A and B are shown apart, each in its own frame.
Chain A
Amino acid sequence: MINHAWLIPVFPALAFPIIIFLTRRVRPLSALVGIAAIGASFVMAVGVLREVLLNGVTMAHPVEYASTWLGIPGLLKIEAGVLIDPLAAVMLLVVTLVALLVEIYSVGYMHGDPGFSTFFGYLSLFSASMLGLVLANNYFMIFFFWELVGLCSYLLIGFYYHKQSAARAGLKAFVTNRVADFGFMLGFFFLFAIFGTFNFRELAAAIPSYQNTGFLALAAALVFIGPIGKSAQFPLHVWLPDAMEGPTPVSALIHAATMVAAGVYLLARAFVLFASLPGIMLLVAYVGGFTALFAATIAITQRDIKRILAYSTISQLGYMVMAMGIGSMTAGMFHLMTHAFFKALLFLGAGSVIHALEEQDIFRMGGLYKDMKVTVSTFVIAALALAGVPPLAGFWSKDEILAGAFDHGFTGLYIIGTLVAFLTAFYMFRLIFVAFFGDRRAGLHAHESPLTMTVPLVILAVLSVVSGFVGAPFVSHGFSSFVYYGEPHHIEPNYGVMLLSTIVALAGIGLAWLLYGRPSDVPARLAERYRSIYKLLVNKYYIDEVYLWLFHRVGLGLAEAFNWHDRHVVDGVFDGVGDVTRLSGHKLRLLQTGNLQTYALVIFTAVVIIALWMAAPVLGGVIQ
C-alpha cells in the first residue's frame, strides 16, 4: 500500500476534470464521482497507516521514493516524491476522513444550489492538492501544492461570486497568503542557496552541521512567514474570518480542519530547521501564543456564528504553532488532529443551523435544541471537546500543549495558554446558550437536517470523544511514541496542569451560564461600562482598517503616482523629442513629407552613413 501511496491524491485529481467536463449536467453523478474518489483515497490512507504501524515505519525510518520532475544537470533537481512517515500517515488519514465526511454532508447542504457540480469539482481539486502537500518530500513540492490549496480556497471562498463580499473575501485571502508565500519562497531559496537541495531528508542531514546560524536563522524566519499566512497567525490572520463567506462545508474542511493546518504541518516537516535555532523557536512560540490569546478575545464579542468559530480556529491554530515553538511537535500535531475533528463538527453543525434558518447572527437564534436535537447535541459535544472538558479529545491534546509549556519552563506561555482555555470555554458556551437554548425566537422555523448531513455530524461527534485517547498520557504506546521529533518519548501525566485546565474550562462555561444562560442585561451593561475595550474587540483591534488604509492610501497612491509619472514624465520626454522634431520640421517644411517611408529611408541612410564613418578605419582593412 505504501508503495502506491502516490495514488491517494491522484483519485480526487482525476475526479476534478471528470466532474467539470463530463458530469456537470448530471448532479448526482458529480457528487458520486467526488465521493467515490475521496472514498478511495480514504481507504488507501487507512491502508497506509496500517502498514506504517505494522511494518515499523517510524519518524527515523520513513519510506521515500521520487522521480525527477524537472532536472537541469548539475544545477537543479526538482523531485515529484512521496515521503511516508507517521506524521504523513496521520495527516493523510485526517484529511481524507474529514474530506469524505464533508463531501457527504455537502450532498445535503448544497442541494439545489446551481453550482452543485462545480462545488464538488473544486472540493476534489482541493483534496488532491492537500493530499499532495501532505505527501511532499521536498520544499518545492510542498510549495507547489501549498499554492494550489490556496487557489482552491480562493475559488471556494468566492463560490457565491454574485456576492460582492464573497468576491472581496476571496481576493483578500489570496493576496494575504501571497504576502506570506513570498516570504516562504525566499526562505527555501535561502536553504537552496546554502545546501543545494529542496529535499527534506537531505536538508535534515545537512542542517545540524552547518555553522553559519545567522544565515540559517534568516532562512527559518522567512520559511515561518508561510505558516503565519496559511495558518492565519497574527499579523496575517485577517483573511480567515472573511473567508467565512464561502459555503459552510468549505469553512469546515478548508478553513478549519485541513488547509489552515497546513502551516502547522509545514512547521512539523521543517522541524529540524527550527529545532536547531532557539531564537527562532522562541519567536514561533510567542507568535502562536499571542495569536491564541488575541483571537480568543475577539471571539467573545462576535455575533456571527461562523465568525466566532473562525476566531476560535485562529486561536486554536495559535495553540498548535505555540506547541511547535516550545519544541513539542507531538503536542502540536496531536492538537491538529483532534481539532480537525471537533472544529469540522462545529462548522458542519453551524452549517446545519444556517441551512435550516438562513441566519448567522446568534442573537437572532434561540431555543434550537427543541427542533434540531442531533445538530445541537453533537455541537455541544464538540464545544465541550474544544473547551477542554475531560475526557473529550480536546482536553488531552490541549493538556499536552500546556503541560509541555509548563515542563519546559515557558511559564508566561503556560499562563497565556490557560487564560485562552478559559476564554475558549466562555465564548463557545456563550454561543451555545444564546443560540441553542432559551426561548424560540419568533419567525424562525427550525427543522432538523437530512441524514446526509446528520450522519457525518454523528461520526465526527464520536471522533471528538474518542480521538483524544490515542494520545492520553496513560496510554503507553500512544501518539507521542508515534509522531515525534528526535527520540520517542512518553509524557508523564501532570495532574496539576490537568486539574487547573479543567477548572478554568468549567469556570468559563459557568461564567457563560451566568451571563447568557438566562435573559439578563448584564452583558449589555458590561459592554457599556467598558465601552472602549468592547469597541476595540468588536472591531477586531482595527487591524483590517489599518491594512485597508495602507493599501488604498499608500499602495494605490503610489501606483497612481507612478502612473502619472509614466504618462507625463517618461512619455513627456519622448513626446517632447517628437515635438522638437516637428517644430524644426515646421521650419524645414520642404523636407517634411509626412510620409513614413521617407522617414524610414532617412533614418536608414543616416545610420549607414554613421556606421560607415565609424567603421572607416576597419573598413580600410577589409578592402586591402
Chain B
Amino acid sequence: MNFPILTAIMLAPVAGLLLILLIPEREQLTIKITAAAATFVSLVLAVLAYVQYDHARGGLQFLQDISWVPGFGINYSVGVDGISMPLVLLTAIVIFTGVFASWDMTQRVKEFFIFLLMLVTGVFGVFISRDLFFFYLFFEVAVIPMYLLIGIWGSTRKEYAAMKLTLYLLVGSAFALIGIIALFLYASQQLGYATFDIQTLATVKYDLGFQKFVFFLMLIGFGVLVPIWPLHLWSPDGHVAAPTAVSMLHAGVLMKLGAYGLIRAGVFLFPEGAKFWAPLIAVLCIVNVVYGAMIAMVQRDLKFVIGYSSVSHMGYVLLGIASLNILGLDGAVSQMFAHGIMTALFFALVGNIYHKAHTREIASFGGLAHQMPRVAAGFLIGGLASLGLPGLNNFVAEFLIFMGSFTRDQALFGGILPFRILSILAISGIVITATYILRVVMKTFFGPRKPEWDHLEDARGVEMVPVVVLIATLLLFGLLPSLQIDMINNGITPLVAKVEAAKAIGGIF
C-alpha cells in the first residue's frame, strides 16, 4: 500500500499533541518548537500531496479505507479532489503560521497548544473524509476545542463570545445532523444497504421534495458556519474574543468548513435542492457583502473590522456557490483559500500590535508605520488583497466569482430581478471594501509619529514567519493562478456537470 499521506497530514498534529503532553509545562519553548515541527510536517506533506495530485486522472486521490462499523456502512475512508486539496493546503499553511503567531503566548502554554492541535486535526479530518459520518465527527472535533480556546485564552467578553459561538455552531450542526441522518436513511432504503460514502450517496436519486428539505437543513447547518446573514453574529464576536492563532484558524479555516460542507454535502448530493434554494442564497449573500462591508467601515476595534470584513468576503463565496456554474464555483473555492490566507495575515498582524500595544482601538493609533514599518507593509498588503488588487490571490477568486455570477442568465422573482443585477450589487462591494480597508490603514499607520507608541518594536524574527509565508502564498497564486485554478476546476467540473444534469426546476423565487 502507498504511504497514507492524508492520514499522515492529519495525524502529525496528533503526534505533536501527544509529545506536548509529555513535556513539562515550564518548558515553553520546547512545547512551541514541538508544535511548530508537527505542523511543519503537515505543511510539507500537504505541499507534496498538492504537487503530486494527478490532474490528468482527476477525481479523488490518495485514497485510504479502513472499515469501522460495517453494520452501518461507516468506514474511515479518506481522499482528496480538486476542491478539498487546496483547503487541506490552506489549513496546513494557516496552522503552521498560527503556531508562530502564538510564539509570545505565556499563559498555560501546554494546554493551549494541545487544544490548538486538536482543533486542526478535526479540520484536516473534515477536508479529507470521504465518509459522511467521519466528516461530521471531525466537524464536531473542530468545534469543541474552539470553545475552550476562546473561553480561556481570549479577551474582550470572552466567556460571552465563546458561549455564543459554541451555541450557534452546535445548533447549526444539529440541523446538519438531522439532514445527514435523513439522507442516510433515505439512501439506505434506495440502495438496499447502509453506507456513508459520499460518492455512493451521490449516485442515489432523491426526489425533489426530499432534496428541497434536506438542502435547506444543510443550508442552515453549514450556513451558520460560513456565516450566512443573518446567522453571522457569532463570528465578529468570536473573532474579537479569540487569541491570535485561534482567530487565524477560526476565520481562516473554520468558516471554510461551512462553505465546503455546503458544496460537498449540499450542492453535490442535492443539485436540485441547490437549484431551488440558490436564489435565496444569492439574495442573502448580497446582504453579506454590502451590509458586512458597510458595518466594517464604522468599527472602532481593529479586530471587528477584520471580523466584519470576513462576513463581507464570505458573501462572495456564497455568491459563487449560488451561481451554480463552473466559473462561480471555481471562484468560490479559490476565494475560500485566498480569504483564509489573507485573514490569517490580518489576524497575525493585529495580534502582533495588540500584544505590544495592549489595545486595538483604531482611534488611539496613528502613524504606527514609523515604529512598525514591517507590520504596516504587511497590513497594507493584506488590505490590498482584501480589496481585490490584481497580482494577489483574492483578485483571481473574486474575478471568477464575478464572471460566474455575471454570466448566469436567470431572472428571479418571476422574471423582474435578473441574477446579473445581484451580481452588479455584489461587485459594488469592491468600492466599499477599498474605502474601509484603506481608511483603517490610514488611521492606524499613517499620519504624524505618536511618541506614546515609540516603545513598540517592529515585527522581527519568528514574528515575521507568518507575514512572509502568507504574503508569499497570496503572491504565488495571484501571479500564477493556474497553479490553483486548474486544481479547483478539476474538482468543480464533475460537480457542475451533475448540477446541470439535474432537471430544470423553478427556484424559490
Interface residues of chain A, those whose CB is within 8 Å of chain B, are 68-73, 75-76, 143-145, 147-148, 151, 154, 158, 161-164, 166-168, 170-171, 174-175, 178-179, 181-182, 185-186, 189, 192-193, 555-556, 558-560, 562-563, 566, 570-571, 573-574, 578, 596, 599-600, 603-604, 606-608, 610-612, 614-615, 618-619, 621-622
Determine if A189 and B482 form an interchain contact, defined as CB atoms under 8 angstroms apart: no
The answer on a CB contact under 8 Å between A562 and B291 is yes
Across-interface contacts of A570 in B (CB, < 8 A): 230, 233
- When C-beta atoms are compared, the residue in chain B nearest to A551 turns out to be B435
Check A158 against B446 for contact (C-beta < 8 Å): yes
Give CA–CA (A143, B388) in the complex, Å. 12
Docked pose: A555 CA to B299 CA in angstroms: 14
Q: Is the CB of B166 within 8 A of A622?
A: no
Interface contact B434-A178, CB-CB below 8 Å: yes
Known: A147-B389, A164-B448, A167-B447. A189 touches B177 (CB 8 A): no
Q: Is the CB of B427 within 8 A of A167?
A: no
Within 8 Å CB of B182, what residues of A?
Answer: 611, 614-615, 618
Q: Would B442 and A167 count as touching, CB distance under 8 A?
A: yes
Contact A182 B431 (CB under 8 A): yes
Instruction: List, in ascending order, chain B residues with CB within 8 A of A182's CB.
Output: 427-428, 430-431
B481 & A148 in contact (Cβ 8 Å cutoff) = no
Given known pairs A618-B189, A619-B185, the reply for A70 and B396 (CB within 8 Å) is yes
A-B residue pairs in contact (CB < 8 Å), sample of 15: A68-B482, A70-B482, A76-B400, A151-B384, A162-B446, A162-B447, A171-B439, A186-B424, A562-B295, A563-B298, A596-B166, A610-B178, A614-B182, A615-B185, A615-B186
Residues in A with CB closer than 8 Å to B298 are: 556, 559-560, 563
Contacts of B174 in A (CB 8 A): 603-604, 606-607
**CB distance B295 to A559 under 8 Å?**
yes
Q: State the CA gap A71–B435 with chains docked (Å).
A: 31
Q: CB distance B170 to A603 under 8 Å?
A: yes
Partner of B447, one of A164, A174, A189, A574: A164
Q: Are B390 and A174 in contact (CB under 8 A)?
A: no
Cα A230 to Cα B481 with chains together (Å): 27
Q: Given the complex, which residues of A lie within 8 Å of B389, measured CB to CB?
A: 147-148, 151
Instruction: State whether A72 and B233 are in contact (beta carbons under 8 Å apart), knowing that A143-B390, A189-B403 are contacts in the complex.
Output: no
The complex places the Cα of A608 from the Cα of B174 at a distance, in Å, of: 9
Point out the residues of chain A lying under 8 angstroms from B407, CB to CB. 192-193
Q: Which residues of B contact A610 (CB under 8 A)?
A: 178
Q: B181: which of A76, A151, A566, A615 is its contact (CB, 8 Å)?
A: A615
Q: Are A622 and B442 in contact (CB under 8 A)?
A: no
Is the beta-carbon distance between A608 and B446 smaller than 8 angstroms? no
User: 16 more A-B contacts (CB under 8 A) besides A70-B482, A189-B402?
Assistant: A69-B481, A71-B482, A72-B330, A76-B400, A161-B445, A161-B447, A175-B434, A178-B387, A179-B431, A182-B427, A182-B431, A560-B298, A603-B174, A607-B178, A619-B185, A622-B188
Bound Cα distance A610, B370 (Å): 60
Q: In the complex, which residue of chain A has the Cβ closest to the Cβ of B144? A: A600
Closest 8 CB pairs of A and B: A167-B446, A611-B181, A144-B390, A559-B294, A621-B189, A615-B185, A161-B446, A178-B434
Q: How far is the CB of A544 from chain B (nearest CB, A)?
A: 16
In chain B, residues 443-498, which have Cβ atoms closer than 8 Å to a Cβ of chain A? 445-449, 481-482, 485, 489
Q: How far is the CA of A610 from the CA of B439 in the complex (A)?
A: 50
Residues of B201-235 whose CB lies within 8 A of A: 230, 233
Do A69 and B406 touch (CB < 8 A)? no
Would A162 and B367 be within 8 Å (CB), given that A71-B482, A596-B147, A614-B182 are in contact? yes
Q: Provided the pairs A70-B485, A162-B370, A621-B189 are in contact, do residues A171 and B178 lie with their beta carbons within 8 angstroms?
A: no
**Chain B residues positioned under 8 Å from A596 (CB to CB):** 147, 163, 166
Closest residue of B by beta carbon distance from A73: B489
- The distance in angstroms between the C-alpha atoms of A189 and B297, with both chains bound, is 28
Q: Contact at A600–B170, with CB atoms within 8 Å?
A: yes
With most chain B CB atoms within 10 A of its CB, the pick from A76, A181, A193 is A76
In angstroms, Cα B448 to Cα A69, docked, is 42
B438 within 8 A of A: yes
Does residue B349 face the partner (Cβ distance < 8 Å to A)? no
In the bound complex, how far is the Cα of B482 from the Cα of A83, in angstroms? 23
| A239 CA / B445 CA spacing, docked (Å) | 21
How far does the alpha carbon of A163 sit from the alpha carbon of B447 in the complex, in Å? Answer: 5
Most buried by A among B233, B299, B326, B449: B233
Q: Once the chains bind, are B489 and A70 in contact (CB under 8 Å)? A: no
Is the interface on chain B under 10, 10 to 19, 20 to 34, or 35 or more residues?
A: 35 or more
Q: What separation, in Å, do the CA atoms of A571 and B168 have in the docked complex?
A: 12
Contacts of B489 in A (CB 8 A): 72-73
Provide the residues of chain A in CB contact with B166, threshold 8 Å. Answer: 596
Residues of B within 8 A of A168 (CB): 442
Taking the closest CB of chain A, its distance from the CB of B328, in whole angstroms, is: 11
In the complex, are the beta carbons of B295 and A571 less than 8 A apart? no
Q: Given A70-B396, A559-B298, A178–B390 Cβ distance below 8 Å?
A: no
Considering only residues 175-191 of chain B, those with a C-beta below 8 Å from chain A are: 177-178, 181-182, 185-186, 188-189
B369 within 8 A of A: yes
Are the C-beta atoms of B391 and A76 separated by less than 8 Å? Answer: no
- Are B327 and A174 touching (Cβ within 8 A)? no
- Chain B 269-309 interface residues, beta-carbon cutoff 8 Å to A: 291, 294-295, 297-299
B residues 362-413 near A (Cβ < 8 Å) are: 367, 369-370, 384, 387, 389-391, 395-396, 400, 402-403, 406-407
Given contacts A174-B434, A563-B298, contact A618 B446 (CB under 8 A): no
Of all chain B residues, the one with the shortest Cβ separation from A181 is B430
Q: CB-CB < 8 A to A618: which residues of B?
A: 182, 185-186, 189
Q: What residues on B are CB-neighbors of A611 within 8 Å?
A: 177-178, 181-182
Within the complex, the shortest CB–CB distance from A73 to chain B, in Å, comes to 8
- Which residues in A have their C-beta under 8 angstroms from that of B186? 615, 618
Bound Cα distance from A171 to B443, whole angstroms: 11
The chain B residue sitting closest to A140, CB to CB, is B399
Quick one: given A69-B481, A72-B326, A186-B424, are A604 and B294 in contact (CB under 8 Å)? no
Which residues of the other chain, B, contact A145 by a CB distance below 8 angstroms?
390
> Are A558 and B294 interface neighbours, CB within 8 A?
yes
B294 touches A175 (CB 8 A): no
Tell me the nearest residue of chain B to A578, going by C-beta.
B167
Does B18 sit within 8 A of A, measured CB to CB?
A: no
Cross-chain contact B446 with A164 (CB below 8 angstroms): yes
State in angstroms the CA–CA spacing of A143 and B178 once bound together. Answer: 47
CA distance A603 to B166 in the complex (A): 12
Q: Across the two chains, which residue of chain B brings its CB closest to A162?
A: B448
Residues of chain B within 8 A of A571, CB atoms compared: 233
A3 CB to closest chain B CB (Å) equals 23
A269 to chain B, nearest CB (A): 18
Q: Does B171 contact A (CB under 8 A)?
A: yes
Whether the pair A189, B327 counts as a contact (CB closer than 8 A) is: no
Interface hub of A555, A570, A606, A618 (most chain B Cβ within 10 A): A618
**B194 interface residue, CB < 8 Å from A?**
yes
List A contacts of B170 (CB < 8 A). Answer: 599-600, 603
Expressed in whole angstroms, the minimum distance between the Cβ of A370 and any Cβ of chain B is 37
Interface string of B321-348 (1 = CB under 8 A from A): 0000011001000000000000000000
Alpha-carbon distance between A607 and B181 when the two chains are bound, in angstroms: 10
Q: Are B233 and A556 in contact (CB under 8 A)?
A: no
Q: Is A185 in contact with B427, judged by CB distance below 8 angstroms?
A: yes
Are B446 and A148 neighbours in the complex by a CB distance under 8 Å? no
| Residue of B with least CB distance to A168 | B442
* Docked pose: A155 CA to B200 CA in angstroms: 54
In the complex, A476 Cα to B427 Cα: how many Å?
Answer: 49
Contact among B167, B189, B369, B402 for A622, CB-based, below 8 A: B189
Task: Determine whether the beta carbon of B406 is less than 8 Å from that of A193.
Answer: yes
Select from chain B the residue with minimum beta-carbon distance to A574.
B233
Contacts of A179 in B (CB 8 A): 431
Contacts A70-B396, A161-B446: A76 and B327 contacting too (C-beta < 8 A)? yes
For B406, list chain A residues within 8 Å (CB).
189, 193
Most buried by A among B147, B178, B445: B178
Take A161-B369, A192-B403, A193-B406 as given contacts and tell me if A72 and B327 are in contact as well, using a CB distance cutoff of 8 Å.
Answer: yes
A162 touches B439 (CB 8 A): no
